[in-house]
Chains A and B, each alone.
Chain A
């Protein structure tokens, strides 16, 4: 039993290390900013998840107590990683792309993140027709 837990912890650690290094290698290797965003946000988050799982298992199996700290860190990381990825993608969209270089948004309009104040007023007016006198 002891041996099985040892094997599991070691396996989680090795998997986590590989994921972590793949994430950062993708960051320097991929050559398009939007595909570069994929590697760290997914692979590195998984790598940290593996380390935290290994740490939890280690505490439960060898130190005879259950550790909740890792659960909190995992939860926090998995909640915030998509938000930061969204913000970084938005920075890229606003600095490197224009309305013309973006893929088709569907319908006959552009993506809402490129709205100017006039566009917002137009949208608002379209959704709220003026009341009849």
Chain B
């Protein structure tokens, strides 16, 4: 039962990631592009945790943590660059 549920979740997040990629390509404004990229980061975390669960290892949690931090920092840096033209003033 868990295997089929995990397969369903894998499919859902993979499809969600494709939709985000579509939005990154077709976004009308840079704010939407930042939002789509941030959502891609979050979906990547979900996929990594699912993969770690499927393999039964713990090594992917550290990777997921690093991706979470990188996603936050890069989103804030991008938004700040658009807002102020500078990241560290």
**10 extra interface residue pairs, beta carbon distance < 8 Å, beyond A88-B79, A91-B30, A96-B31:** A17-B10, A33-B32, A36-B35, A40-B39, A69-B62, A77-B45, A88-B31, A88-B35, A88-B38, A94-B82
Cβ of A104 under 8 Å from chain B:
no
Residues of chain B having any CB pair with chain A under 8 Å: 1-2, 4-6, 8-13, 15-17, 19-20, 22-23, 29-32, 34-36, 38-39, 42-43, 45-46, 49-50, 52-53, 56, 58, 61-62, 64-65, 68-69, 72, 75-76, 79-80, 82-83
Q: Is the CB of A27 within 8 A of B23?
A: yes
Q: DSSP majority for the B interface?
A: helix
> Given the complex of chains A and B, what is the CA–CA distance between A10 and B23 in angstroms?
30
Known contacts A24-B43, A27-B23, A44-B42; decide if A17 and B72 are in contact (CB<8 Å).
Answer: no
* Residue interface bits A38-56, CB-to-B below 8 A is 1, else 0: 0010001101100110110
Q: Is the CB of B16 within 8 A of A20?
A: yes
> Given the complex of chains A and B, what is the CA–CA distance between A69 and B56 in angstroms?
14
Q: List 16 A-B contacts (CB under 8 A).
A: A6-B1, A23-B39, A24-B43, A27-B35, A40-B35, A47-B13, A48-B45, A69-B61, A73-B49, A73-B65, A83-B76, A87-B79, A88-B75, A90-B79, A91-B83, A95-B30
* Residue interface bits A4-18, CB-to-B below 8 A is 1, else 0: 001101110110111
Q: Is the CB of B36 within 8 A of A21?
A: no
Known contacts A20-B43, A27-B35, A55-B52; decide if A87 and B13 are in contact (CB<8 Å).
Answer: no
Cβ of A108 under 8 Å from chain B:
no
> Given the complex of chains A and B, what is the CA–CA distance between A81 and B32 in angstroms?
15
* Set of chain A residues within 8 Å of B49, measured between Cβ atoms: 48, 51-52, 55, 70, 73
